[in-house]
Amino acid sequence: GGAAMAAVRDVEIDPEGTFKYILVRLQRPGGGEQRDVVRGTKAAEFHNHIFEKVNPEMQKLGYECKCLGGGKIDHNSKDKKIRVFGLSTGYGKADHSVTVEILKKVYTDYEITWSDDKK
């Protein structure tokens, strides 16, 4: 139960650069346990590419996935800054404030901000 969900990392994003990200809700079928995770990578040309990778991985672990929206992340590891902004055309805009809270769990010594700016 909880162990498998705990094994899923809160955040998997590229260590540097600007890239697309999505906010994904994981849920056990039939309700109950759920949590939101952040996934982002430069390798994804479109937001759905990220979801298409995450979804089968999570299904194997017994979760249903729902994309709550997307945007972009600008990750500056040198200055320890992350900026969350923009939106996904396909999935709509994620709640960036939620994304920031999740990022803060992992990047505890970073300055993390968000805005509705497109760039």
Contact in structure between 19 and 40 (CB atoms under 8 Å): yes
Tokens of 12: 């998997």
Q: Name residues whose C-beta falls within 8 Å of residue 79's C-beta, 6 or more positions apart in sequence.
A: none
Residue 78 is assigned to a ligand binding site: no
Cβ(67)–Cβ(24) below 8 Å: yes
Which long-range contacts link 29-35 to residues 24+ away (Cβ below 8 Å)? Answer: 29/62, 29/64, 33/1, 33/2, 33/5, 35/5, 35/8, 35/10
Active site (annotated) includes residue 47: yes
Q: Which of 47, 49, 75, 96 is catalytic?
A: 47
Helix, coil or strand: residue 62: coil
Catalytic residues: 47
Annotated binding site for substrate: 20
Which residues are part of a known binding site? Answer: 20
